Amino acid sequence: MKSILVSMLLLSTTFCAVVPSVKKVDYSGFKVIRVASTDDVKDQIESLAAHVLNPGKSTEIDVVVSPDNVEALIALVAESKVLNEDVGAALAEEGEMQTYAVPSESWFTAYHPYADHLQFLKDLQAGYTGQSEIVTVGTSIQGRVLTGIHIWGSGGKGSKPAVVIHGNVHAREWITSMTTEYFAWQLLTNATFKSLVDKFDFYITPIVNPDGFVYTQTTDRLWRKNRQTVSGNTCVGRDINRNWPYKWEVAGGASTSPCSETYKGQVAGDAPENKGLKAQVDSLKGSRGISLYLDVHSYGQYILWPYGYDCNLRAENDAQHRSIATRAQSAIRAVSGTAYTIGPSCSTLYATTGSSTDYTDVQGNATYSYTYELRDTGSYGFTLPANQIKPTVVETWAGVVSMLKDA
């Protein structure tokens, strides 16, 4: 009795080692065949089939059959029809099962409502809880929380110099939130970029002007500023990228009229969105420091660096800014042929005061600060068609990867 039990145990152990119970059925070459059944062959059909798909049916049965049994099955019945030539191939098209709701690449084929952008970040973060967290960067004038994602690598949270990326500061520049989300998505889902994730702590906030963004979706697609009012004036909105408290007071790079698209505000940094963004920059400056700051805008196809407030002044590392931008420009062109213009922002595009990159360069002590102006050069402008989202995010990411390798 005892020896029999031992033999059985040995047998089952051996059996398990040879045929692991977790192995998935391979349906390569299996067919789905619809056969005309009669009572006298029904049992034989079922014995030849791997699965009966409509087991309740009596006269017309759909079965999954292995390649070895196809001939025998067809010979058995009066009528048959192949519904699917290869079940294995069909399963491959269905895609891999995902444990977490990590957003897929199809996100980048359409524009989305504000709430969905927040959900995108949450879903992405939920798939990578060990190397990311949702962060908040202050609150808008209407009470929306500026929401971003912090991504880190093998060194652990907060252990590396910061890369800070802001998108959609100008409400109508919809392509910029899609693009900055693509950066985050690539960093977390694409193992190719592990060395970059290990090199920096990334702080990506795709929509830093949520009120304006929502307004472009509810009311005016071409709205630019935030939604802050000025006492005694009917015009609405400050330009968040003219409100940073550095060289804000200099004339010529912004407007003092509340009705203007580039209204600078009443006091430096008086937009609540700017308070939050400034606090983020100041805090990271005080911890591990900022290696790279990117403010992503559209349109025009430019890569710009300080300064905005003075067309003759150059950053002390102007030459490094230029060589890094030159390589990014080439990387973008190599993907798609899209041509970017590069240079210090004031002398290359136009004068700006109270701009983000001047602040991050001087006050934030960032090693490199750039403004991207994405596609296009004006044919579609801010309303880039959905079929250009994917090519735009892919080419821009190539430019940013080049910068991250250089920085």
What residues line the site for Zn ion (CB under 5 A)?
170, 297
Ordered strands of the 145-151 beta sheet: 132-139, 145-151, 201-205, 162-167, 290-298, 368-374, 302-305, 341-344
Expressed in angstroms, the distance from the first to the final Cα of the chain is 73
> In a 3-state reduction of DSSP, which class is residue 57?
coil
Cis peptide bond prior to 182, omega within 30° of 0: no
H helices, E strands: number in the chain: 13, 14
Q: Taking a C-beta distance cutoff of 8 angstroms, is the pair 167, 207 a contact?
A: yes
Element (H, E) at 369: strand 368-374
Minimum CB separation from Zn ion for residue 285, in Å? 24
Residue 331 and residue 294: Cα distance in Å, rounded?
17
> In a 3-state reduction of DSSP, which class is residue 141?
coil
Minimum CB separation from Zn ion for residue 172, in Å? 8
Residue 157 or residue 380: which is nearer to Zn ion going by CB? 380
DSSP state of 282: H
Any catalytic annotation for residue 85? Answer: no
Minimum CB separation from Zn ion for residue 373, in Å? 7
> In a 3-state reduction of DSSP, which class is residue 154?
coil
Residue 261 or residue 318: which is nearer to Zn ion going by CB? 261
Given the residues 173, 181, 273, 373, select the one marked as catalytic: 373
Residue 117 or residue 170: which is nearer to Zn ion going by CB? 170
Residue 69 or residue 216: which is nearer to Zn ion going by CB? 216
Residue 346 and residue 250: Cα distance in Å, rounded?
13
Minimum CB separation from Zn ion for residue 275, in Å? 20
The two tokens of residue 319 are 């030459």
Rounded to the nearest 10 degrees, the angle between the axes of helix 318-336 and helix 389-406 is 140
Minimum CB separation from Zn ion for residue 167, in Å? 10
Known catalytic residues? 373
